[in-house]
């Protein structure tokens, strides 16, 4: 064993000095258990190798998280569950959080029936998370707990509530109901028994037709995602701090367009009908930090003047591409703007004093929604990018018919090419390497980096471009401005990249990310 390994075993660092493990070990066990509860269970278990005194310390952490897919056999999993909870019971320990995820439908859930009452009545668990795939029948004791402040149920059976009205979750603050067969009557029983509820999260609650929060004066965060229309009534909407609905209440905004939301910080509307004109939006949402309008039909004119908005997202979908939006956006503190659309491009005027902000633009050219005029579409894209030129732009293109496109050289009105920090080509067919398409792209923007999936990247854009020779007509005029192109592999999320030779691309693993770095002669911006 080398010296470095011995030092680690003794709890010393490389220079021989004692590290903080010894000092931490002197703390009272309840404090150490609290510290371990801040770690994931996996990381908490790893602390057992620090020293002898830490070997079993993780056994007393206040959070227990159990996943059956971490065990090869279900008997091993349930044996571990039984021994773990018995140890807590024998030591008279309380639990802050208990989470069990059961992904295998054939798992026997009898042990849960045994331990859930113990968790609630003997251990005073505060956060209970039951995530199953087999509609586990819940014991009534779950809905009569004074200790629970958080309850998350997924694919559980609520039939026990059909024969009782005795739901008393008097201290519950957070309720998450996911993938449940739940009727209006059962939901009303549950929510009526949660007088202090602050956070309500409903995901695909089948058979639910209405949500009525009439006497809940503490509701702050509401989220509901369904597959069909339901009625949502919140008696105290002015208390809300975040609101998210998807596919469930298309007329919500029209019914609340004159309602004041003084505390709302995040608004996420998906498939919600909007009026044609929104001019005084910010006056009803004075504290809004984040606004997401996703696949919301109807909007044509959008005027947003807000000093509080920091994140703004507008998306259209292929099924409902909507109409062309004229937007005037004055957000001096913006940090992030996103637009995702099919066919129609918005007309955007952006005013901000923010120095460091990002924009993410995802587009798909579809002739059906693009006035059958590729040149006009690219002109609108050029103007859109110009409006966002103060930001770090990431442009993601996913075209269906780019191989047919070209820009009419006699068509005027184009601005100087805009610097795009990242160009992502997501469905990279060979059409991307058509010189005419590169002319279209590079006439209106100059990317610093081009990102491609490795399979298509092996077509070797760098080599392709290097072989193009401008002809006398200047067909490939942008090549005169391109100084260098190099190939890099790495990870975009971690922003870690290293240079590789183009001849090495064929040896790359399929999951590796590839990008091309383009250096242009003219320093168009700080990004190059």
Q: What is the pLDDT of residue 346?
A: 85
Radius of gyration of the chain (CA): 29
218-232, 461-475, 491-505, range with greatest mean pLDDT: 218-232
**Residue among 288, 294, 282, 330 nearest 309 (CA):** 288
Q: What is the pLDDT of residue 521?
A: 83
Strand ranges, E, within 355-501:
358-364, 392-397, 418-425, 445-453, 482-491, 496-500
Mean pLDDT within 304-309: 95
Q: To the nearest whole number, what is the mean pLDDT of the chain? A: 80
Give yes or no for residue 33 having a pLDDT over 60: no
Q: What is the pLDDT of residue 31?
A: 67
Mean pLDDT within 226-245: 94
Task: Return contacts of 520-527, CB within 8 angstroms, 24+ apart.
Answer: 520/446, 520/481, 520/482, 520/483, 521/480, 521/481, 521/482, 521/483, 522/481, 524/417, 524/418, 524/419, 524/446, 525/389, 525/419, 527/392, 527/419, 527/421, 527/448
Q: What is the pLDDT of residue 375?
A: 76
Give yes or no for residue 528 having a pLDDT over 60: no
DSSP H/E element including 22 = helix 21-25
Q: DSSP character for 485?
A: E
Tell me how far apart the alpha carbons of residues 299 and 322 are, in angstroms, rounded to a whole number.
8
Q: 282 in helix, strand or coil?
A: helix
**Which residue stretches of 136-251 are H helix?**
184-192
Tell me how far apart the alpha carbons of residues 512 and 306 are, in angstroms, rounded to a whole number.
41
Strand partners, 350: 329
Mean pLDDT within 266-273: 95
Tell me how far apart the alpha carbons of residues 226 and 522 are, in angstroms, rounded to a whole number.
51
Give yes or no for residue 502 having a pLDDT over 80: no
Q: Hey, what are 456's tokens?
A: 């298509």
Q: What is the pLDDT of residue 16?
A: 40
pLDDT band at 8 (very low <50, low <70, confident <90, very high): very low
Percent of the chain with pLDDT over 70: 71
DSSP H/E element including 254 = helix 252-256
Tell me which of 49 and 208 has the higher pLDDT: 208
Contact at 8 Å (CB) between 458 and 430?
no
pLDDT tens digits for range 75-129: 888 888 888 888 888 888 888 899 999 887 555 677 888 899 999 999 999 999 9
**Residue among 172, 126, 168, 135 nearest 154 (CA):** 135
Q: 265 in helix, strand or coil?
A: coil
Q: How many other CB atoms are found less than 10 A from the CB of residue 72?
A: 8
Tell me how far apart the alpha carbons of residues 260 and 285 are, in angstroms, rounded to a whole number.
7
Q: Hey, what are 364's tokens?
A: 């798909």
Give yes or no for residue 313 having a pLDDT over 60: yes
Strand ranges, E, within 102-159:
127-137, 150-157
pLDDT tens digits for range 67-87: 887 777 778 888 888 888 888
Q: What is the pLDDT of residue 361?
A: 95
Q: What is the pLDDT of residue 509?
A: 60
What's the pTM? 0.84
Q: Hey, what are 206's tokens?
A: 């089948």
């Amino acid at each position: 064993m080398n010296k470095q390994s011995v030092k680690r075993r003794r709890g010393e660092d490389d220079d021989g000095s004692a590290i903080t493990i010894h000092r931490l070990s002197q703390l009272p066990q309840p404090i150490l258990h609290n510290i371990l509860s801040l770690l994931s269970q996996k990381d908490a278990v790893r602390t057992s190798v620090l020293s002898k005194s830490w070997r079993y310390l993780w056994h007393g952490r206040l959070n227990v998280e159990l996943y059956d897919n971490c065990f090869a056999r279900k008997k091993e999993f349930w044996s571990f569950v039984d021994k773990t909870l018995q140890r807590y019971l024998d030591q008279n320990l309380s639990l802050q959080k208990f989470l069990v995820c059961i992904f295998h439908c054939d798992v026997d859930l009898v042990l849960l029936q045994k331990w859930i009452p113990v968790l609630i009545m003997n251990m005073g668990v505060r956060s209970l998370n039951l995530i199953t795939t087999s509609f586990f029948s819940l014991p009534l004791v779950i809905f009569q707990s004074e200790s629970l402040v958080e309850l998350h149920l997924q694919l559980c059976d609520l039939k026990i509530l059909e024969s009782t009205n005795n739901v008393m979750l008097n201290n519950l603050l957070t309720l998450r109901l996911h993938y449940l067969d739940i009727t209006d009557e059962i939901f009303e029983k549950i929510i009526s028994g949660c007088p202090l509820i602050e956070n309500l999260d409903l995901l695909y609650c089948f058979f639910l037709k209405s949500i009525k929060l009439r006497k809940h004066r503490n509701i702050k965060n509401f989220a509901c995602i369904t597959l069909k229309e339901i009625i949502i009534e919140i008696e105290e909407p002015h208390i809300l701090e975040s609101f998210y609905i998807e596919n469930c209440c298309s007329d919500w905004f029209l019914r609340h367009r004159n309602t004041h939301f003084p505390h709302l910080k995040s608004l996420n509307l998906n498939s919600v009908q909007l009026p044609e004109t929104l001019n005084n939006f910010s006056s009803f949402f004075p504290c809004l930090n984040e606004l997401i309008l996703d696949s919301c039909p109807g909007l044509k004119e959008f005027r947003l003047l807000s000093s509080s908005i920091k994140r703004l997202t507008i998306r259209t979908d292929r099924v409902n591409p909507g109409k062309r939006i004229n937007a005037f956006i004055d957000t001096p503190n913006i940090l992030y703007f996103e637009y995702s659309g099919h066919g129609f491009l918005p007309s955007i005027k952006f005013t901000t004093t923010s120095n460091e902000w990002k924009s993410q633009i995802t587009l798909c050219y579809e002739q059906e929604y693009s006035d059958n005029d590729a040149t006009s579409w690219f002109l609108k894209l050029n103007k859109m990018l110009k409006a966002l030129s103060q930001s770090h732009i990431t442009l993601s293109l996913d075209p269906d018919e780019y191989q047919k496109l070209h820009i009419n050289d006699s068509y005027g009105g184009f601005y100087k090419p805009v610097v795009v920090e990242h160009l992502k080509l997501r469905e990279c067919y060979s059409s991307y390497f058509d010189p005419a398409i590169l002319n279209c792209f590079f006439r209106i923007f100059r990317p610093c980096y081009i990102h491609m999936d490795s399979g298509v990247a092996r077509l070797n854009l760098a080599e392709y471009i290097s072989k193009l020779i401008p002809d006398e007509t200047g067909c490939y005029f942008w090549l005169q401005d391109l100084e260098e192109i190099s190939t890099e592999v790495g990870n975009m999320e971690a922003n870690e990249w290293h240079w590789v030779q183009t001849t090495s691309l064929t040896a790359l693993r399929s999951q590796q990310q590839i990008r091309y770095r383009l250096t242009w002669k003219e320093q168009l911006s700080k990004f190059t």
